[in-house]
């Protein structure tokens, strides 16, 4: 019997069809599920996390570059730059985390033939950059010459992560003139970078002088440029970049403010030249306007070149400066303290006069003085002297006698009135306090002796002062009793010349010293510089200008050479020799300028310090006459009577 094909009545055919339908339903459900899963994932990526992924993508192609701000200038009172800026080529390298930065670093070392110090600098900065932000370029070599910059720019294709930027760099056009006052710059520390919110620690920061003290004004604020690059690191065109970069593409840099100083660069150079011409190994000079406290010149020698200190000092050069026994890094005008010698005698004189001493009272100088079994020697045998004569001849015995009557604490009291024993509040380079001992000070350390008062009366023993303190004290003696806070910044200006802030003279205190007492000291000072026998006059007379002065020769305690101290042969340098001082001013009824000259281990004040002051004041007189004379005048007349006529005029009794 034959069966018809295709019949669905058999048991296997009837069961296959529902099974197929069931499987198709599962496939359809799986397909629908996969679709919804994919759709959900796409929704998560594009809607929920889309912005984040976009930002991550953009961050790979959008780069930032900091735009250097121009540091503010430091100008003298007439606008002449002492610290300025010049163009320079700086080399940056992005530290990263891969091997490419190391390849670039090795190629730069080979290409430029870097020294050991330079290689160490590059490695240190790269290490810091990796810790702070490895994706941002780090300044590894600053102020590179045009030739070096050209070599790197030509090889950029094989130097991944390397950039060459044309940026401003600190420059000191006057070289080492006023170097301690102006200061210099070095690479900032990590702590400084955090505190200043700086971009990286390879930036330079003020390290000394005004550069450090006025950093916040001078620094300015860097700008930012944002741009887009392709996979090869090449910049994309402006239109494409605009689609990737949101917000401002360029935020401009803000230049720093300029400092206009009270310093007169011509006077500064006169003082620097006088120190150089005298060939003294270490010295300081300060010139102050007595009526305002404005500092017109401030010198500390030996010095340094801030152009070398700012990023170019080698380790060998640094070691030479550090080991120099004259200590060129120490500001001898503001920070270091010294025994003042006889320029300090005005303290004992004014204390005695205010306590009732008659200027006519005399003491006999036989060349020596005995006290408590100790014999003290004077600097000569002066015979019978009154106070004015004792000032003229700098007779120690007269002032030792004063010390017996007034005592140490009275000397200390007047000294502190004139600013000794405390900072001047200039706020630069340490601004030393010095030391003014009292009986209590000695009792805390040892047993007080009467000889301590005699030492203090002549500026010896444990008395120590700064040159700036002495300059401000003599300015107060000149102006009749107003002690000013020293001022070196006249005003702060914006980069466009607009005044931001102007600083007025600040009075520290009015001194309770009578005009009669001051007049007696003035007369003694006049004889020092203008009459035979005066400790300055015997080493040169200045006839073109009225000078009141006082010399000082401060003996020092004999010192032994320290272990490891530099033994280089420095001309005229003898650390066992006395310090030489001259302090005084120009003008009597209307004092113009006060001056203090200090020569460290120079010897005699009259023989060493006064000739330096004389040379400076001769230049000052010529400058003043030249400015005051009408145009076309070729013949300059003496400003004042000279020689015997000047002395006779001074010796006339006051009306």
Asked if the domains at 63-251 and 265-651 fall in one CATH topology, the answer is no
pLDDT in tens, 62-121: 777 777 789 999 999 999 999 999 998 989 888 875 567 788 888 899 889 998 888 888
Q: Burial, 35: exposed, middle or buried (Cβ in 10 Å; 0-12, 13-18, 19+)?
A: exposed
- What is the rounded distance in angstroms from the CA atom of residue 431 to the CA atom of residue 63? 46
Task: Please give the CATH topology (third level) of the domain spanning 265-651.
Answer: Beta-lactamase (3.40.710)
Unique residue bearing structure tokens 């500001």: 331
The two beta strands, 374-377 and 489-493, are unpaired
Angle, helices 643-651 vs 515-530, to 10°: value is 160
- Non-local (6+) Cβ contacts of 122 within 8 A are 93, 105, 108, 109, 114, 140, 141
- What is the rounded distance in angstroms from the CA atom of residue 442 to the CA atom of residue 409? 11
Q: How far is CA 204 from CA 71, 213, 218, 248, 493, in A?
A: 11, 14, 12, 27, 22
Q: Are 642 and 544 in contact (CB under 8 A)?
A: yes
Unique residue bearing structure tokens 């900072």: 423
CA end-to-end span of the chain, whole Å?
Answer: 168
Instruction: Compute the 3-state secondary structure of the chain and give helix, strand, coil in percent, each to the nearest 5.
Output: 40, 20, 40
Domain ranges of the chain: 63-251, 265-651
- Non-local (6+) Cβ contacts of 229 within 8 A are 61, 62, 63, 235, 236
Please give the pLDDT value at position 567.
46
Q: Coil, helix or strand for 16?
A: helix
Mean pLDDT of the chain: 84
Residues of the chain with pLDDT under 50: 1-9, 564-568, 629-655
Q: For 85, which DSSP code?
A: E
Please give the pLDDT value at position 193.
67
Unique residue bearing structure tokens 């339908």: 21
**Preceding amide of 302 cis, omega within 30:** yes
- What is the rounded distance in angstroms from the CA atom of residue 177 to the CA atom of residue 173? 9
Please give the pLDDT value at position 444.
93
The pTM of this model reads 0.82
Could you tell me the two tokens for 345?
Answer: 């005698």
Q: Are 342 and 400 in contact (CB under 8 A)?
A: no
Could you tell me the two tokens for 460?
Answer: 């010896």
- Which residues are paired to 547 by β-bridges? 586
Q: Coil, helix or strand for 217?
A: helix
- What is the rounded distance in angstroms from the CA atom of residue 55 to the CA atom of residue 49? 10
Could you tell me the two tokens for 99?
Answer: 């091997």
The dihedrals phi and psi of 170, each to the nearest 5 degrees, come to -65, 140
Q: Coil, helix or strand for 515?
A: helix
Q: How far is CA 122 from CA 199, 397, 645, in A?
A: 17, 64, 70
Q: How far is CA 104 from CA 276, 357, 484, in A?
A: 48, 81, 58
Residues belonging to the chain: 655
Q: Are 567 and 545 in contact (CB under 8 A)?
A: no
The dihedrals phi and psi of 217, each to the nearest 5 degrees, come to -80, -40
Q: Coil, helix or strand for 344?
A: helix
Could you tell me the two tokens for 652?
Answer: 């006339």
- What is the rounded distance in angstroms from the CA atom of residue 633 to the CA atom of residue 424? 42
- What is the rounded distance in angstroms from the CA atom of residue 39 to the CA atom of residue 452? 97
Burial string for 153-185 (b: 16+ CB within 10 Å, else e) reads eeeeeebbbbbbbebbbbbbebebbbbbbbbbb
Neighbours of 535 (CB within 10 A): 28
- What is the rounded distance in angstroms from the CA atom of residue 420 to the CA atom of residue 433? 7
- What is the rounded distance in angstroms from the CA atom of residue 333 to the CA atom of residue 469? 9
Superfamily of domain 63-251 in CATH is: Penicillin-binding protein 2a (Domain 2) (3.90.1310.10)
pLDDT in tens, 365-388: 999 888 877 888 898 899 999 999
Please give the pLDDT value at position 466.
98
How many degrees, rounded to 5, is the angle at CA 614 between CA 611 and CA 618? Answer: 145
- What is the rounded distance in angstroms from the CA atom of residue 185 to the CA atom of residue 292? 30
Q: Are 604 and 623 in contact (CB under 8 A)?
A: no
Q: Burial, 429: exposed, middle or buried (Cβ in 10 Å; 0-12, 13-18, 19+)?
A: buried
Listed in order, strand segments (DSSP E) in 74-209 are 74-75, 81-93, 138-144, 162-171, 185-187, 204-206
């Amino acid at each position: 019997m034959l069966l018809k094909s295709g019949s669905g009545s058999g048991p296997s055919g009837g069961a296959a069809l529902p099974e197929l339908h069931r499987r198709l339903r599962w496939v359809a459900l799986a397909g629908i599920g996969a679709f919804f899963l994919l759709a959900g994932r796409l929704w998560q990526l594009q809607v929920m996390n889309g912005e984040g992924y976009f930002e991550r993508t953009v961050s790979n192609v959008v780069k930032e570059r900091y735009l250097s701000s121009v540091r503010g200038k430091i100008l003298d009172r007439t606008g002449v730059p002492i610290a300025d800026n010049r163009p320079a080529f700086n080399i940056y390298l992005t530290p990263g985390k891969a091997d490419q930065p190391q390849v670039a670093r090795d190629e730069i070392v080979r290409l430029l033939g870097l020294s050991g110090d330079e290689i160490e600098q590059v490695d240190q900065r790269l290490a810091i950059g990796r810790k702070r932000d490895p994706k941002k370029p780090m300044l590894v070599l600053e102020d590179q010459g045009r030739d070096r910059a050209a070599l790197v720019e030509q090889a950029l294709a094989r130097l991944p992560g390397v950039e060459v930027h044309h940026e401003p760099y600190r420059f000191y056009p006057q070289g080492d003139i006023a170097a301690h006052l102006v200061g210099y710059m070095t690479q900032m520390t990590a702590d400084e970078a955090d505190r200043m919110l700086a971009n990286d620690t390879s930036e330079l920061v003020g390290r000394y002088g005004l550069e450090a003290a006025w950093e916040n004004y001078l620094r300015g604020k860097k700008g930012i440029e944002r741009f887009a690059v392709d996979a090869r690191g090449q910049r994309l065109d402006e239109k494409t970049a605009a689609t990737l970069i949101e917000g401002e593409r360029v935020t401009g840099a803000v230049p720093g403010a300029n400092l206009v100083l009270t310093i007169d660069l011509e006077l500064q150079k006169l003082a620097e030249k006088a120190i150089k011409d005298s060939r003294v190994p270490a010295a300081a000079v300060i010139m102050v306007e007595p009526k305002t406290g404005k500092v017109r010149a401030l010198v500390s020698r030996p010095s340094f070149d801030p152009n070398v200190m700012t990023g170019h000092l080698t380790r060998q050069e640094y070691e030479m400066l550090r080991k120099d026994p004259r200590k060129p890094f120490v500001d001898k005008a503001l920070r270091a303290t010294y025994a003042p010698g006889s320029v300090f005698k005005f303290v004992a004189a004014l204390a005695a006069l205010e306590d009732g001493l008659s200027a006519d009272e005399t003491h006999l100088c036989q060349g020596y003085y005995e006290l408590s079994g100790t014999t003290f020697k004077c600097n000569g045998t002066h015979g019978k002297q009154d106070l004015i004569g004792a000032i003229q001849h700098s007779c120690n015995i007269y002032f030792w006698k004063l010390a017996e009557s007034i005592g140490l604490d009275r000397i200390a009291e007047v000294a502190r009135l004139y600013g000794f024993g405390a900072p001047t509040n200039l706020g630069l380079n340490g601004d030393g306090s010095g030391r003014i001992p009292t009986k209590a000070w000695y009792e805390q350390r040892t047993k007080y002796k009467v000889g301590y008062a005699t030492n203090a009366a002549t500026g010896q023993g444990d008395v120590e002062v700064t040159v700036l303190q002495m300059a401000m004290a003599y300015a107060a003696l000149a102006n009749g009793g107003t002690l000013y806070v020293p001022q070196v910044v006249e005003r702060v200006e914006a980069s466009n010349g607009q005044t931001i802030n102007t600083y007025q003279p600040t009075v520290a205190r009015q001194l309770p010293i009578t005009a009669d007492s001051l007049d007696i000291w003035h007369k003694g000072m006049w004889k020092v510089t203008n009459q035979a026998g005066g400790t300055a006059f015997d080493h040169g007379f200045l006839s073109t200008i009225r000078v009141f002065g006082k010399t000082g020769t401060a003996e020092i305690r004999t010192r032994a050479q320290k272990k490891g101290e530099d033994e280089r042969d420095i001309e005229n340098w003898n650390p066992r020799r006395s310090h030489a001082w001259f302090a005084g001013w120009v003008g009597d009824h209307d004092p113009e300028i006060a001056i203090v000259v200090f020569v460290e281990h120079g010897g005699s004040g009259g023989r060493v310090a006064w000739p330096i002051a004389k040379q400076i004041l001769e230049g000052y007189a010529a400058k003043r006459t030249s400015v005051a004379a009408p145009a076309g005048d070729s013949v300059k007349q003496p400003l004042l009577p000279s020689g015997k006529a000047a002395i006779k005029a001074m010796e006339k009794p006051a009306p």
